[in-house]
Amino acid sequence: MADKQWFVHPLRVRYQETDQMGVVFHGNYVTWFEIGRTELIRAAGYDYKAIEQQGLLLPVVDLQCRYEQPARYDDQVLVCTRVADFSPVRLAFESQVRRVDTEQWHAGSYGSEEELPGERLVSGGTRHVWVNESWRPTRLDKALPELYELLRAWPREQGEG
């Protein structure tokens, strides 16, 4: 599913997100990955609150995060997220945090990584399993077929069907 488009969500680094070294505290990037996932799901036409109200949960079962360059206070960054792998029971997201100039960014979807604006600071991703309220694995295509179809049909790179 590497052909899926990136969804980008802009953020500005707040003072409280930095540490004594003057850079973003490493744990905040994980929070930003979550913001990216949440906003991608919302852009697809759903939200986590509605998913949970229907008895489904999507816990993180694996997290990868590679720090390449630090973000600093007041930097403008884009949280870039795309569906990396998808099945009725599993969902994986690929994520990047990129620093951008004021004139350079805007929210929306982009095709390939080469089209993403700015300098890549952090890359990684998360893997998830759909479970019910008893924490038993659940098939999304059976439990919420409309959400399954929304995720399956998430926009591909321009020019693809």
Give me the average pLDDT of each 10-residue run along the chain (161 residues): 78 96 96 96 89 96 98 96 95 96 69 83 98 98 94 59 36
Residue 48 phi, psi dihedral angles, 5° rounding: -60, -35
Cβ atoms of residues 124 and 92 within 8 Å: no
Q: Is residue 102 part of a domain?
A: yes
Would you state the pLDDT for residue 116? 87
Would you state the pLDDT for residue 1? 41
Would you state the pLDDT for residue 8? 93
- Which is it for strands 6-12 and 76-86: parallel, antiparallel or unpaired? antiparallel
Query: Which are the contacts of 74, defined by CB distance < 8 A and separation ≥ 6?
Result: 12, 13
Q: Is residue 70 part of a domain?
A: yes
Q: Is residue 75 part of a domain?
A: yes
Q: Is residue 161 part of a domain?
A: no
CATH code where residue 99 lies: 3.10.129.10
- Which is it for strands 108-110 and 76-86: parallel, antiparallel or unpaired? unpaired
d(CA 123, CA 36): 12
Would you state the pLDDT for residue 101? 86
DSSP assignment of 59-73, as one string? -EEEEEEEE-S--BT
The domain of 45 spans: 6-152
Would you state the pLDDT for residue 38? 95
Q: Is residue 91 part of a domain?
A: yes
d(CA 128, CA 63): 9
Residue with token string 């004021």: 102
Q: Is residue 160 part of a domain?
A: no
Catalytic residues: 19
Would you state the pLDDT for residue 158? 36
Domain count, the chain: 1
Would you state the pLDDT for residue 104? 61
